[in-house]
Amino acid sequence: MNVVDIAQAIEDMDNAENQVRVFRLLPKDSSAEVFSYLDSDTQSAIVEAITTSELKFLMEDMFLDDAVDFLEEVPANVVTRVLAHTSPETRNLINKFLKYPENSAGSIMTIEMMSFPESFTVEKAIAEIRKTALDKETIYTCYCTDSQRKLVGSVPLRRLIVSRDDQLISDIMYDDDQLIFVNTLDDQESVAAIARKYDLLSVPVVDNEQRLVGIITIDDIVDVIEEENTEDFEKMALLLPSDDEYLKTGVLKHTKNRIVWLLILMVSATFTGQIIEGFEDKLAAIAGLTACIPMLMDTGGNSGNQVSTLIIRGLALGTIKISDYFKILWKEIRVAFLCGLVLAVVNFGRMYLLRAITGSETTDSVFLVVCIAMMCAVMVAKMIGCTLPIVAKALKLDPALMAGPMITTIVDAISLILYFNIAKLILHV
Amino acid sequence: MNVVDIAQAIEDMDNAENQVRVFRLLPKDSSAEVFSYLDSDTQSAIVEAITTSELKFLMEDMFLDDAVDFLEEVPANVVTRVLAHTSPETRNLINKFLKYPENSAGSIMTIEMMSFPESFTVEKAIAEIRKTALDKETIYTCYCTDSQRKLVGSVPLRRLIVSRDDQLISDIMYDDDQLIFVNTLDDQESVAAIARKYDLLSVPVVDNEQRLVGIITIDDIVDVIEEENTEDFEKMALLLPSDDEYLKTGVLKHTKNRIVWLLILMVSATFTGQIIEGFEDKLAAIAGLTACIPMLMDTGGNSGNQVSTLIIRGLALGTIKISDYFKILWKEIRVAFLCGLVLAVVNFGRMYLLRAITGSETTDSVFLVVCIAMMCAVMVAKMIGCTLPIVAKALKLDPALMAGPMITTIVDAISLILYFNIAKLILHV
């Protein structure tokens, strides 16, 4: 069975004792790999149950990035037990890794990379690879260093094995402009963007002195991409972002993640309340005006949501830049005009039909007010929807915070003011 | 310079003639790769300007998946010119690939994979790889076939190069349960899920007779992941999904993508309108009731949006299954109770404070009505928000369609009915 499937099978057992028993039966050479695919609860249970020598073996056999991931998630007493039983070098390395800022390249890299001096020949490099391949996280891109351990080039294994044995690495490696790398402190999101842009299988990480300190492999980058997408989905839905899975998050944590923005936006609704209160007697006097408030608000909110999502996504994928703002605004004005027009015309028909059916007393002038207000609401919503995410980006804030619900609250207030003023103007109230 | 950067530099030129001129100056061995990174407008311009022999060389040198991608995007006259100047075999292959359904594994795979019979020795396999590596899209996972060209195993290059020269491939390859593959007709989303789950660098694709027909490499899978995420973002924001970049999409196309759902939801708002109209005289009689409608609606919509996003995302990433429904519902009821309680209490304080400041005539009973309605709206929103995406999934519809705006419309209607009935009950109107 595949190690991923073994880990899954262990996860699916409902008894922690059985999980530990099965884990202990695994062949030595795959136990560390299976362990790295388990979730943190199961990992803790296993670490607490196995012997010291088993634990030592496990820690030395795991890739450093997996060990760090594991230690970041488990309770402090487990961390203490683990660190007490690892070799001093591993312990120092782990401590160093745990200190990198969250979501930095340093925090997700691993040190088990294939690297050799640029002065090697192809033959020597291949011999080195054959000797050490099993301890490396990947060997498919090798990195070349100079005498000060500075990163000076990269060479794909494919290029190595089609080269002549006596060629020098420095003659076949990609260097200068062709060499892509990141710094330990770079954000994981930008690392993912670079890997995606250049179709890399691994990205080398250097420190401030340009020394090669680690690599980030594509499987971890794929996880980063999904994590960053989840974070954007959550932020856009007014949630505090969280790395935990839905089912493993407690009720109190869920409540905490949700209540903050709900409270902020509920209190902001004071404005819309005040606007309506100021117009309450006129709303009461004219039949049909109040009934259209939800439709106007929802249509405005939905229109704004559409464009803000497109802009946020474009900014995240790098297909939209801040400097495109005026191009975008001009496009949105035209799209909003067309959308608004269609909506207004259909709405006129809908209200007309509804009056014929229900025999309500709503007048044609009210229809006109609603349709003009609809048009204005869509125009305002589209313009705000494309402006706010770009302003956020320019202010170095996360554009994802400027999504639907945030924009809805602003658009609500503006559309109501417009609605009531148009009503005043046309109905002379 | 890196090929990706060269493609970018060509894209950034504003003159098509210069683009073609620079493209022609590229060294022969990188021109096909640079071409595959260009966008379809630039590709068309180049194909129309280069000579027949240049075109022939370009087509034979490009990987098949890149050629198919390119032909899917450009105008029909360009396709005709290209196909007229490719060799009959390539033409047949391209035509076959163009016939795979959109978003299927077949439509994104490539045929340039490294494969050999399972009867080879390691030495023979490595010699084969060194000979043909440059024509393969990847050599880092090799695939093993039997005498009927059926896929029977896979072997990572790393495993090959640490094995003894005289070992048989069939002895070192991953087979049976350890062999992961997909069918040509599988959806690209499930291919991405498999690659992500098993941390694969490439996924082999087989036909209905289990014959190896192609592979999908991780760089294309990363693109699929971003594409599928974009599609979910778009669907959740009421947009018809589109593969085109924002800035390259015309005003009419943008309008078309947006107007459909805006119209549907605007017409659905007829219900909320009718509910309000039925209560209009009572709203007019009691101060403060109308003013709270936007706040109630927005809070309900936001609450539903939060949970539907979490569920949609969990379903997409596979961390939530349909069978988890009752666990989720029970969690949501508790979260909703806590959120609703906090919101109701804060809202009571807010309204109290507001009355003290503005001196409005709203009574304590109205406060009570609004707070109870708020609590109910949040409960209803959370329950609907977790139910609809799971129902959609069970009906084999896309859960992403059950996102915020859709749920808002339903929650709006239910919360208004609850609001007015609570008002009737408490205020005896």
A interface mutation test: which of B36, B37, B69, B158 has the most A CBs within 10 A? B158
Mind listing the pLDDT tens digit for each residue in B315-345? 888 888 889 899 889 988 998 999 899 989 9
B212 half-sphere exposure, CB direction, 13 A CA radius: 27
List strands edge to edge, sheet with A182-183. A182-183, A202-206, A212-217
Q: Is the pLDDT of residue A212 over 80?
A: yes
pLDDT of res. B404:
67
CB contact under 8 A, A246 and B311: yes
Q: Is the pLDDT of residue B425 over 80?
A: yes
Question: By the 8 A CB rule, do B205 and B190 touch?
Answer: no
B100 half-sphere exposure, CB direction, 13 A CA radius: 26
Question: By the 8 A CB rule, do A37 and A7 touch?
Answer: yes
CA distance A187 to A102: 9
CB contact under 8 A, B347 and A266: yes
Helices B3-12 and B28-36 cross at an angle (nearest 10°) of 70
B402's tokens:
């059950």
A108 contacts: CB under 8 Å, gap ≥ 6: A65, A188, A191, A216, A220, A224
pLDDT of res. A68:
86
| Residue found by looking up tokens 């003894």 in the block | B164
A76 contacts: CB under 8 Å, gap ≥ 6: none
Q: Is A340 helix (H, G, I), strand (E, B) or coil?
A: helix
Question: By the 8 A CB rule, do A428 and A366 touch?
Answer: no
A126 contacts: CB under 8 Å, gap ≥ 6: A160, A161, A165, B161
CB contact under 8 A, B408 and A230: no
Q: Is the pLDDT of residue A216 over 90?
A: yes
pLDDT of res. A171:
92
Establish if B96 touches chain A: CB-CB under 8 angstroms: no
CB contact under 8 A, A291 and B280: yes
pLDDT of res. B62:
86
Closest CA to A109 of A188, A176, A33, A171: A188
Mind listing the pLDDT tens digit for each residue in A292-347? 888 888 888 888 888 888 888 888 888 888 898 998 899 889 989 999 999 899 98
CA distance A270 to A275: 9
Q: Do β-strands A182-183 and A151-156 pair in parallel, antiparallel, or remain unpaired?
A: unpaired
Question: By the 8 A CB rule, do A315 and A389 touch?
Answer: yes
Q: Is the pLDDT of residue B77 over 90?
A: no
Look at the alpha carbons of A257, A258, A260, A261 in this order and tell me if their dihedral is positive or negative: positive
**B120 has which bridge partners?**
none
Residue of chain A minimizing CA distance to B139: A158
Full DSSP string of A352-381: HHHHHHH-----HHHHHHHHHHHHHHHHHH
Mind listing the pLDDT tens digit for each residue in B108-150? 888 889 999 999 999 999 999 988 888 888 888 999 999 888 9
CA distance A55 to A86: 8
pLDDT class of A145 with cuts at 50, 70, 90: very high
Residue with the bigger pLDDT between A224 and B233: it is A224
H or E element at residue A148: none
| Residue found by looking up tokens 């932020």 in the block | A235
Alpha-carbon distances of B145 from A428, B65, B396, rounded to whole Å: 83, 22, 35
pLDDT of res. B120:
92
A194 half-sphere exposure, CB direction, 13 A CA radius: 20
CA distance A369 to A371: 6
The percentage of residues in chain A with a pLDDT greater than 70, rounded to a whole number, is 100
Look at the alpha carbons of B338, B344, B347, B348 in this order and tell me if their dihedral is positive or negative: negative
Establish if A255 touches chain B: CB-CB under 8 angstroms: yes
Closest CA to B63 of B274, B285, B293, B217: B217
Residues forming CATH 3.10.580.10 domain(s) in chain A: 115-219
Fold of B269-427: Tetracycline Repressor; domain 2 (1.10.357)
A381 burial type by CB count under 10 A (0-12 exposed, 13-18 middle, 19+ buried)? buried
Q: Which of A86-100, A119-133, B223-237, B295-309 has the highest mean pLDDT?
A: A119-133
Top CATH class, A115-219? alpha beta
Phi, psi of B16 (to 5 degrees): -60, -35
CA distance B335 to A256: 9
Q: Do β-strands A202-206 and A212-217 pair in parallel, antiparallel, or remain unpaired?
A: antiparallel
CA distance B120 to B147: 12
A interface mutation test: which of B266, B351, B357 has the most A CBs within 10 A? B266
Q: Is the pLDDT of residue B194 over 80?
A: yes
For chain B, helix, strand, coil in percent to 5 are 70, 10, 20
Top CATH class, B108-217? alpha beta
Can you give A189-215 as a three-state secondary structure string? HHHHHHHHHHCCCEEEEECCCCEEEEE
Q: Is the pLDDT of residue B284 over 80?
A: no
CA distance A28 to B266: 62
B interface mutation test: which of A229, A347, A382 has the most B CBs within 10 A? A229
| Strands in B132-274 per DSSP E | 138-145, 151-156, 182-183, 202-206, 212-217
CB contact under 8 A, B238 and A328: no
CA distance B203 to B184: 11
What is the distance between the terminal CA atoms of chain B, rounded to a whole angstrom?
A: 77
Domain A3-99, CATH: 1.25.60.10
Rounded to a whole number of angstroms, the distance from the CA of A339 to the nearest CA of chain B is: 6
Angle at alpha carbon of residue B248, lines to B256 and A328, rounded to 5°: 80
Establish if A201 touches chain B: CB-CB under 8 angstroms: yes
Establish if B154 touches chain A: CB-CB under 8 angstroms: no
Which residues in chain B (30-49) have CB-CB distances under 8 A to chain A? none
Mind listing the pLDDT tens digit for each residue in B4-36? 889 988 988 888 888 888 888 888 878 888 998
B388 contacts: CB under 8 Å, gap ≥ 6: B308, B402, B406, B407, B410
Establish if B201 touches chain A: CB-CB under 8 angstroms: yes
Helices B88-98 and B64-73 cross at an angle (nearest 10°) of 60
Chain A residues close to B419, C-beta within 8 Å: none
Chain B residues close to A130, C-beta within 8 Å: 161-162
Q: Do β-strands B138-145 and B151-156 pair in parallel, antiparallel, or remain unpaired?
A: antiparallel
Radius of gyration from C-alpha coordinates of chain B: 30
Mind listing the pLDDT tens digit for each residue in B380-415? 999 998 898 999 888 888 888 777 677 888 888 888
Which residues in chain A (386-425) have CB-CB distances under 8 A to chain B? 404-405, 408-409, 412, 416
CA distance B141 to B218: 11
pLDDT class of A364 with cuts at 50, 70, 90: confident
**Buried/exposed code over B31-66 (b: 16+ C-beta within 10 A; e: otherwise):** bbbbbbbbebebbbbbbebbeeebbbbbbebbbbbb
Which residues in chain B (319-378) have CB-CB distances under 8 A to chain A? 319-320, 324, 327-328, 331, 334-335, 338-339, 342-343, 346-347, 350, 354, 358, 360
Rounded to a whole number of angstroms, the distance from the CA of B91 to the nearest CA of chain A is: 27
Phi, psi of A202 (to 5 degrees): -155, 150
Closest CA to B38 of B75, B76, B80, B10: B10
Q: Is the pLDDT of residue B273 over 90?
A: no
pLDDT of res. A186:
93
Whole-structure pTM value:
0.81
Establish if B288 touches chain A: CB-CB under 8 angstroms: yes
The percentage of residues in chain B with a pLDDT greater than 90, rounded to a whole number, is 20
A341 contacts: CB under 8 Å, gap ≥ 6: A375
CB contact under 8 A, B246 and A320: yes
Residues forming CATH 3.10.580.10 domain(s) in chain B: 108-217
B205's tokens:
């694709």
Residues forming CATH 1.10.357.20 domain(s) in chain A: 269-427
Mind listing the pLDDT tens digit for each residue in A228-255? 888 888 887 777 777 778 778 888 888 8
